[in-house]
Structure 1
Amino acid sequence: MPPRSLTASRVSAPVLIAALAVMLSGCATPVSVRTMGLADSYRERTRSALDGPRLSSQTQSVLASQNLTDTWKKHPQQALATLRASTQAHFYTPDLPSQLFALAELNYQQARKTQDPASFMATALYAYAYLQPDAPAAERPTPYDTRVQQASALYMLGLTGAFGAPVNPDSQRWTLPFATLDLYAAPDARLWHGQTLSDFQPTARLKVSGLQNLYTTPGLGEPLAAIVSTDTPPNAAFTVTDKVRVPVNLNLNIADPRHQVLSNQITGRIVLTPIDQTTQFHTKPNQPPLQYDQTAARAISLSQPEIWSSEYKGFLDGRFFDSGRRSQLFAIEPHQHGRMPVVLIHGTASSPGRWADMVNDLLQDKDISNNFEFWFFSYATGNPIPYSALQLRRALKKALSDLGGPQADPALGQITLIGHSQGGLLAKMLTITPHDRLWNGLMKRPLSSLDLPERTRRFLEQALMPTAMPEIRQDIFISTPQHGSYLAGLSIAHFIGGLVTFPVSVKDMTQQIMAGNADAMKLDMSPGRLGSVYAMSPNSSFMRTLASIPVVPDVITHSIIPVQDDSPLSETDDGVVTYESAHIAGVRSELVVRHSSHSTQANPVTIAEVRRILLEQLADFHADFHPGGDVDRRNIVRIGGSYTPVSDTAPAHAP
C-alpha cells in the first residue's frame, strides 16, 4: 500500500487544476473594452447591410430580443414573417421604430441575395414607414440617429432594385409576400413644361468620371434621369434637346405609412418631380427635401460617343448641319418667363460638350439657375466665319420669334453670348454694324456693281453687312483670336483647312462671284483660303478688317484670356492665341487666367469669372438683387486670375 501522502496528492490534482482555472479566469472578464482607431470606430458605429453582409447593431439587438438570431441565419423568410407578426402585435410600444428599421434592413439583405424586386419593394416600404416623412417633425425619428441616414439609403436603393431600369412610373399593382400594393400615378405625371418625359434611368448605381465636380442634392427618394420627348421638328431653329437628361426624383406618398405597411392592403402614389419644379411632395412644412443626382443625369448624355465624334466631322464636313436632321440651337430645358438666355458658342473642331463643366458648376448657383437658361449653338466649324455667324443670327431670330420676343418676355432682350475661340468671333459678328467695311476689306467693288443673282446678293449682304442684334446685352470672349491665331497662319493649318467640304450654297455663291466678277476680288477664293482656318490667320483680310470694327456701344463686352505661364503678357500665349491677339480695348473687364490652356472653359477661375459677370448682369436687370462678396473680383484673383487695366486704345499692332 503506497504512502498516504502520495495518494492524497494524486487525488487532489484535478481539484488543483480546477482551482487554478478558476483563479486564471478571474483575470479575463466576460466583457472587454479595447481602443480602436477613429476610422474603425466610425465604421463600427455605422455598419449595416448597406455596406456588407453584417447587420447593424440595432437590428442584431432586435433579432436577439425576439429570439430570432438563429432563425434568421437558417430560415430568413420565417424570421421576417415572425418579426412582422410581432411588430403588428406590439404596434403601440416604443420598440415600433426599431422593428420597422430592422424589417427594412433584413429585407434589403435578403433582396441583395435573391435579387427579388418584391423584397426590394418591401425594403422601401418599411424604410418609408420608419421615416414617415408625412408626419409632423416631432413624430419622426430624430435626425441625429444614424438609422435615419441608413433608412433613407435603404428607401432609395429599395426603389432602385424594385423598379429596375428603365423605371416605369405609371400606376401599377405589386404582390408582396405579406400584402398587395397599389401605386397610382397622376395622368399628367410625365409632363414637364408642356413636354413629355420618358426613359427614366436610375442613377443611384452610376459612377461618373470625366467631370471635375460631382453634384448631388441630398434628400429622400430615388434619383432618375429622363429624356424629353418633344414634337419639335428636327429642323427647327430652336429646340429642347433630347440628348441632355433632366434630373428627376421619384417618391412614394403613402398615407399613415406605419399602419398601412403592417396591413395586407397598401395604397400610395408615385410622385415624379423634375429638379426645377416645386415638389408635390412638400405639402406640409418641415418635410424632407428630395434627392437628385444632377451631375450623373447630365453625364449619361455626355458619355455618348456621337457627341464627341461630331467635333471633327463638323469641322471637315461643312454640310454637317445642312441636312435638317440636326438642330443648331438647342436648350437643356424649355424657356421659362423671366429667365435670360446665355448662348454658348463653341470653338473650332469642338462641340457643346466642351461646356459641360462650366454649365454643371453654374447651375449649382441658385441665383443663376433661377434667372438664366443655357442655349447651345452648334455649327460646322470649318465653314466661312460669316456663313456660320449668319446661321447663328437666323437661329436666334427664329427662336426669339417663336417665343414671342422681348415684347412677351423682357428677359429675352437680355441675351448673353459666350464664345470660345472661333465662337467668340461669331459672337462679335452679331454685335457689330460694319456697314460695308467687311465687304470692302474683301472686294474692290461695291456689292451693287457685281453681276449676281438677287438671292446671292441678299445672302452676301446679310453675311457681310450685318447689323447688331438689339436683343444681345453682352459678349463674353473666351480665348478669342480677336487679331488672329498664329497657328492658323501655319501652312499645315491651311492644308487641313483645304480638306473642308463646304455646303452647296457656299460653293454656288463662290462660283457665281468668280464667274463674272473676278476683277472685283481682293482675296483668293480657293477652298483652302475660303474657310474659317485661313480667315483666322493674323494676315487674312477678313481678320484684319474684323479686328478694326468695334462692338456697338450698347453691348457690354468682357474678355477672359488664358496664358500658359507667368511670362510678361506681351510674350505669352495659350498655345493657340497670343495674349496680344486676344486683348481688345473697350471691354468692361479683362481677366487673365494664368497657367491655363486655350481650352479654359473648365478652369475654375474662368467659371468663377463667368459667374461673376452673370450675377453682375442680374443685378443690373433686377435692382433688388445684390450679389454676395464671394463673387467679386478679389475672390477670383485669389483663386488664380489677374485683372489687367483696360486701355482705351487698341494694341499697337492692331489696324
Structure 2
Amino acid sequence: MERASGMRSRTWWLVRLVAPILLLCLQACAMVGVSRLKPHDVVAESRADVLGSGRLSDSTVQALNVVALTTKQCTQSFDACTEIVGRSGGLDEEQRLSALSELWLGHALHDDHAATMDNATLGAYLQSARYAYAYLFYTQRTPAQRVFDQRQARVIAFYDYAVERVVGRWFQELPRLNTDWSQTALAGWTVLRPNTDLHLRATPTELIPASALRFKGLRNVYRRDGFGSDFVAVAPPSTPDAPSVPWREPRYAAMTGVLVFGGQTLDEVLATRQVQLLVRDPYRDADVTIAGRSVPLGANFTAPYGLWLARSGFAMQSIRSLLGRQGGLAEPRVLLMQPYDPNRLTVVMLHGLASSPEAWVNVANEVLGDETLRHNYQVWQVYYPTNAPIAVNLRQIRQALDATIRHFDPNGTARATRHMMLVGHSMGGVIARLLVSSSGDKLWSLVPESRKLSAAKRARLHRQLAPYLQFSPIPQVDEAVFLSSPHRGTPMARHRLARWVAELIRLPFSVIKDVASISDLLKDDSGQGGTGKGAPIHVSNSVGNLSDTDPFIVATANLPISPQVHYHSIIGLYKPHGTLAQSSDGVVPYTSAHLAGAESEVVIPSWHSVQETPAAILELRRILRLHLARVGQKKAPMPVRTSSVTALDAGAGRP
C-alpha cells in the first residue's frame, strides 16, 4: 500500500513538472516553418490553375480560406460553396469574381466528358464566362490598370476557354433553328442571334477552335493577342451545279468570338440570363468596344491557311494535272486567301511546273505575318494545270484574272485592283512576266507560212491564233517579282530525264482540239501543210516549252515589260562555281533568270525552290513595303466595331 501510494505521489509531481514543458513545446510547434522552392517550381506554382494543372490557383484557394472554405468542401458542396463566396464579406470584388469564374470553370471541366455537352455543363461554362466578364469590365479598376496582375491574365484565359466551349455547343444547336430566328432558350439562358460581320459564301459546316490545331510544315503561327476566342469557320464545298466561275472564295475563314452579357452595371450583369455572341472577322476588326471600353481583338491568322492546305490534296492533284490524268485541274482558278476586301492591295501568286499553291506554303503565311503588310494586302493564288503550253496558260490565266477583277470590282475603283502585284516562281514567273509584257506582232513568226492559203483561211487562222500570240500588259498591275524564273529557258528541259517526263504528259483535250483545227487551216487547197510536208504542226507541252531552244521561249525572251511596272528578281545560287554568269540554282541558269532593267536583284544561296528560304521571304517583305510606300495612301486604321452590351436586343445582328 505504501509503495503504491509513493508511486502515485511521484507520478503527480512528474505531471506537474512535465505539463509546462509540453505546453512550451506545443507553442514552439505552432510557429511558422519555411522551405525553399526551386526556381522552376516557383514559376509552375504561380501559373497553376484549373486550366493548366487541374487544380485551383493559389489566389482562389486564398479567397476560399478567407471565407473559411477548403477546396474539398467546394468539391463536395459546390452550390453552397459558390453561395458563400458570392455573399461573404472579407473579399473585394476582384477576388470574389475571379474566384467564382475559376470555380464554375472547374465545375464545367469536371463534367465535360461526353461527346455532346449537356445543359448543366453549358450553364456552368456560361457562369464562368459571365463572372470573368464582370471582373474584366464592371469592377472599379479597368483592364489597363491591371495589366501586370497575374490574376487578370488567368481570368482572361478562363473567359476565352469558356467562350470556346460555349460557342462549340451553340454551333451544334444551329441546325434545329429557323433561318430567321432572333432568340432562343438554352440551358436556362436567353441566347440572342449572333451579331456578325464575318462574310462567308455559305453557312459554316464546321467551327474549329484554333487553339486545338497544330501544323507541320509551317514555320510559324501568326496570332494577335487580344480578347475573345479564335476559330476557323469552314464553309461547305461548292456544289457540282454551282456556276462555273474561275475564282474561289475562301472556305476557311478566321473568326473571333466574344460573349457579351446583358446589363449596364455589375449587379445587372450578375443577375442577367441574357447573352449574345459577337462574331468578328479579325481582318476587318482590330478592336471591340465593350461597356464603353475599347479592347484589342484576338486572332489566329495562320490556322485557316494551314487547315486549307492540310485538307487541299494539292500534292496529288498537281501531279495528275502535270501528267494530264483524270482528277487533275482542267483550267486555272483564282483562289482568294481571305474574304475580298476592296481596301487591301492585291498580291497575285503564281506557282511553277508540277506545283500548286503549296509552293507558297510559308511565303504567304510569313509575308502576311507582318502586321503592316497584313493590314494593307490580301493574297490571291493562281492554281493552274502545268501540263498546258505556256501560251495556253497565259491566255487562260489572263482571262481568269480579268473575270475575277470584274466580279469583285466591276467599276474598277477599288484600291484592291488599282495597284496589283504579281509574284511568280519558276514557270509561274515566266507567265507573270508575260502578263505585264507587250507582244506586238513579234510572235507571228512562230506560225508556219503558206503562200497558198486563201484570204478566208488566213483571217480564220489569225482569229484563232491571236489570243495566244498577241497580248498586252494587265493594266491593274504595277509591281512584279520573279523568283528563279527561266525567262530564257533552261537546258535542264533537254535532259534525258526531262524528256522522259515530257513523254508521259498528255496535253489538255482543248489544246489538242485547237492544234488539230489550226493544222487544218494551215493546209492549202491541195491538202498540203504550210511547210509543204502535209504534217500537223507540233506544240510543245510545258516541259518542252521551258527548254532554252524552244521557239516560244526564245521568241518571248526579250518582249518589253510595261514601263509602269516596277519589277524585281530573286535568284537562287546552288553550289556556286566560276563566275555568277556561269552559275545556276540547280535548274535555272543565272543568265536565264536575270532581267536587265530590274529595279532590284538579289542572289540567295539556295536550290531552285528559293521562295521558301527566309532570305527570299525577307526580300519579298521589303519589296511589298517599298510598293506600299510608292503607292501611298495607306489604308485607314481598321474600324472599331462597336458591340456594346447595351445593343443586346432581339433584333441586333443579322448574319
TM-score band, normalised by shorter chain: 0.7 to 0.9
Q: Which of 91, 97, 100 lines up with 2:94 in the alignment?
A: 97
1:274 maps to a residue whose letter is D
Listed one character per residue, the Cα deviations across residues 588-611 of structure 1 (whole Å, up to 9, x for unaligned) are 1101122x2322323222122222
**Equivalent residues in 2 for 1:19-30 (5 A)?**
30=31
Matching residue's letter, 2:485: T
Partner in structure 1 of residue 186 of structure 2: 174
2:160 to 150, 156, 159: 156
CA deviation after TM superposition for structure 1 residue 413, in Å: 3.0
Structure 1 residue aligned with 2:540: 530
Residues 485 and 576, structure 1, Cα contact 8 Å, conserved in 2: yes
Q: 1:471 aligns with which of 468, 476, 498?
A: 476
> 1: distance between equivalents of 2:392 and 2:210?
41
- Aligned match for 2:255, one of 247, 257, 280: 247
**How far off its partner does 1:184 sit?**
0.7
CA distance in 1, matches of 2:6, 2:247: 111
Alpha-carbon deviations, 1:597-652, whole Å to 9, x = none?
32232322212222221222222221689xxxxxxxxxxxxxxxxxxxxxxxxxxx
Q: Distance in 2 between matches of 1:141 and 1:83?
A: 30
Map of 1:401 onto structure 2? 406
RMSD: 3.8
**AA of the residue aligned to 2:122:** P
SS in 2 for 1:558: strand
How far apart in 2 are the matches of 1:298 and 1:333?
9
* Farther-moved stretch of structure 1 (15-24 vs 424-433): 15-24
| Candidates 56, 66, 83, aligned match of 1:85 | 83
Name which of structure 1's ranges 574-583 and 62-71 shifts more when overlaid on structure 2.
62-71
2:425 equivalent to 1:439: no
The residue identity in structure 2 corresponding to 1:81 is D
Percent of aligned pairs sharing the same letter: 24
Separation in 2, partners of 1:590, 1:109: 58
The aligned counterpart of 1:556 is 566
Cα distance 1:37–1:282, how it changes in 2: closer, same or farther (>3 A)?
same
Corresponding residue for residue 116 of structure 2: none
The alpha-carbon deviation at position 120 of structure 1 amounts to 2.5
User: Cα deviation per residue 1:523-543 (whole Å; 9 max; x = unaligned)?
Assistant: x9788x611101111222222
Structure 1 counterpart SS, 2:549: coil
2:354 to 321, 345, 349: 349
Following superposition, the deviation at residue 205 of structure 1 comes to 2.2
Which residue pairs with 2:313 in the alignment? 306
Write the mapping of 1:23-42 to structure 2, written as runs, cut at 5 A.
Answer: 30-42=31-43
Output the TM-score relative to the length of structure 1: 0.82
Q: Are 2:230 and 1:223 aligned?
A: yes
2:435 alignment partner in structure 1: 430
Deviation at 1:194, TM superposition (A): 8.1
How far off is 1:148 after superposition? 0.8
- Alpha carbons of structure 1 residues 394 and 219: separation in structure 2 relative to 1, 3 Å: same
- Once residues 24 and 526 of structure 1 are traced to their aligned partners in structure 2, the CA distance between those partners, rounded to angstroms, is 110
Superposed CA deviations along residues 412-471 of structure 1, whole A, max 9, x for unmatched, are 232211111110111122122222333324645699879869766434211122222222
Q: Which amino acid is 1:251 matched to?
A: L
Residues 121 and 486 (structure 1 numbering): CA distance in 2 closer, same or farther, change over 3 Å? Answer: farther
Determine the C-alpha separation between the residues in 1 that align with 2:617 and 2:505: 32
Whether 2:580 is the aligned partner of 1:575: answer: no
Partner Cα distance (2:94, 2:323) in 1: 65
Say if 1:87 and 1:96, in contact at 8 Å, map to a contact too: no
Query: Is residue 2:45 matched to residue 1:44?
Result: yes
Equivalent residue in structure 2 for 1:461, among 463, 466, 472: 466
What is the Cα deviation at residue 7 of structure 1? 12
Alpha-carbon distance in structure 1 between the residues aligned to 2:532 and 2:378 = 43
Task: Trace 1:97-496 onto structure 2 (pairs within 5 A).
Answer: 97-115=94-112, 116-132=121-137, 138=142, 142-164=146-168, 167=171, 171-175=183-187, 180-186=188-194, 189=196, 192=199, 199-228=206-235, 233-242=242-251, 244-256=252-264, 258-260=266-268, 262-263=270-271, 265-278=272-285, 281-282=288-289, 286-317=293-324, 328-404=333-409, 407-409=412-414, 411-441=416-446, 443-444=448-449, 457-496=462-501
Query: In the alignment, which of 579, 587, 600 is matched to residue 598 of structure 2?
Result: 587
- 1:480 positional shift: 0.7
Describe the SS at the equivalent of 1:380. Answer: coil
> Contact conserved, 1:328 with 1:378, CA < 8 A, in 2?
yes
Report the Cα offset of residue 554 of structure 1. 2.7
CA distance, structure 1, for counterparts of residue 620 and residue 506 of structure 2: 35
Q: Distance in 2 between matches of 1:441 and 1:254?
A: 73
Q: Which amino acid aligns with 2:129?
A: A
- 1:15 and 1:456 mapped to 2: Cα distance? 127
Query: 1:238 deviation in Å?
Result: 2.6
Q: Once the two structures are superposed, what CA deviation does each residue of 1:51-81 show, in whole Å capped at 9, x if it has no partner?
A: 1132111111222233331653651xx2x32
How far apart, in 2, do the equivalents of 1:73 and 1:303 lie? 44
> CA offset at residue 22 of structure 1?
8.4
Inter-partner Cα distance in structure 1 for 2:326 and 2:560: 31
Once the two structures are TM-superposed, the CA of residue 322 in structure 1 deviates from its matched residue by 6.9
Shift of 1:101: 1.5
Matches of 2:93 and 2:508, distance apart in 1: 72
Partner secondary structure for residue 148 of structure 1:
helix
SS of 2:106's equivalent?
helix
Q: Residue 203 of structure 1 contacts residue 225 of structure 1 at CA under 8 Å; is this kept in 2?
A: yes
Distance (Å, rounded) in 1 between the aligned partners of 2:86 and 2:548: 82
Q: Distance in 2 between matches of 1:15 and 1:520?
A: 132
For 1:556 and 1:309, the matched residues in 2 are separated by: 35
- Please state how far the C-alpha of 1:165 moved relative to its aligned partner: 6.3
SS of the residue 1:86 aligns to: helix
Deviations 1:333-353 (A, max 9, x none): 343334322111111111113
Local SS of the residue matching 1:51:
coil
Mark the CA change 1:197 to 1:312 in structure 2 (over 3 Å): closer, same or farther.
same
Q: How does 1:594-605 map to 2 (within 5 A)?
A: 594=605, 596-605=606-615
Distance 1:446 1:230 in 2: 53
Superposition deviation, residue 551 in structure 1:
1.9
1:434–1:521 Cα change, 3 Å: farther
How many Å separate the matches in 2 of 1:268 and 1:552? 57
Distance 1:577 1:27, change over 3 A: farther
Query: Closer, same or farther in 2 for the Cα pair 1:74/1:435, shift >3 Å?
Result: closer
Distance in 1 separating the partners of 2:451 and 2:631: 42
The answer to whether the 8 Å contact 1:131/1:141 transfers is no
**Closer, same or farther in 2 for the Cα pair 1:213/1:353, shift >3 Å?**
same
Deviations 1:288-342 (A, max 9, x none): 222222212322212115233222122122786776xx86113123433343221
SS at match of 1:236: coil
Contact 1:483 1:538 in 2 (8 A): yes
- Quote the Cα distance in structure 1 between the aligned partners of 2:9 and 2:85: 62
Note if contact 1:220-1:288 (Cα within 8 Å) is conserved in structure 2: yes
CA contact (8 A) 2:321 2:327 kept: yes
Q: TM-score, normalised by structure 2?
A: 0.82
How many equivalent pairs are there?
607
Aligned to 1:192, the other structure's residue is in SS state: coil
Q: How much has 1:144 moved relative to structure 2?
A: 1.8
